[in-house]
């Protein structure tokens, strides 16, 4: 659940949606990301969506956000519920990439039909 460099860590999956705060978190320490990695793509999909026949148009009160923890600042937020992502079991949230030795972020917010497995 983490990259070998320890720069990227997934804190686990909450399949019930119960509890306070964010259900799932992926922590990224950009200065620790190895130089061999030039882009990170943040993708989300509904767990077992094919078997469960679910898409984000059917899920209520669901959002995903990108947060700078150092500054306690929300950078991007997408609501995954409702019409815009109807029929879409996945979404590309953002791309974080190196540009002239600096990290930049491009918000994407595109619903997708492709399912990514670990």
Question: Domain coordinates of the chain in residue numbers?
Answer: 34-112
Element (H, E) at 45: strand 39-45
Model confidence pLDDT, tens digit, residues 70-117: 899 998 888 777 677 788 888 888 899 999 989 999 988 888 886 656
Q: In a 3-state reduction of DSSP, which class is residue 6?
A: coil
Model confidence pLDDT, tens digit, residues 4-63: 999 999 887 766 667 676 778 888 999 999 999 999 998 888 888 888 888 887 777 778
Q: In a 3-state reduction of DSSP, which class is residue 62?
A: coil
Q: Selecting from 3.40.50.720, 1.10.1240.10, 2.60.60.30, 3.40.190.10, what CATH number does the domain 34-112 have?
A: 2.60.60.30
Phi, psi for 40 (deg, rounded to 5): -120, 130
Which residue would you say has higher pLDDT here, 12 or 118? 12
Distances (CA, A) of 43 to 12, 21, 40, 99, 100: 15, 20, 10, 21, 24
């Amino acid at each position: 659940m983490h990259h070998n460099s320890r720069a990227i860590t997934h804190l686990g999956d909450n399949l019930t949606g119960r509890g306070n705060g964010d259900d799932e978190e992926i922590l990224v320490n950009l200065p620790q990301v190895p130089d061999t990695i030039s882009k990170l793509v943040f993708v989300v999909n509904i767990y077992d969506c094919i078997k469960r026949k679910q898409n984000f148009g059917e899920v209520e009160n669901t959002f995903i956000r990108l947060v700078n923890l150092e500054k306690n600042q929300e950078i991007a937020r997408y609501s995954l519920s409702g019409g815009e992502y109807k029929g879409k079991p996945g979404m590309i949230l953002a791309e974080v990439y190196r540009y002239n030795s600096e990290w930049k972020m491009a918000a994407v917010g595109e619903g997708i039909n492709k399912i990514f497995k670990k």
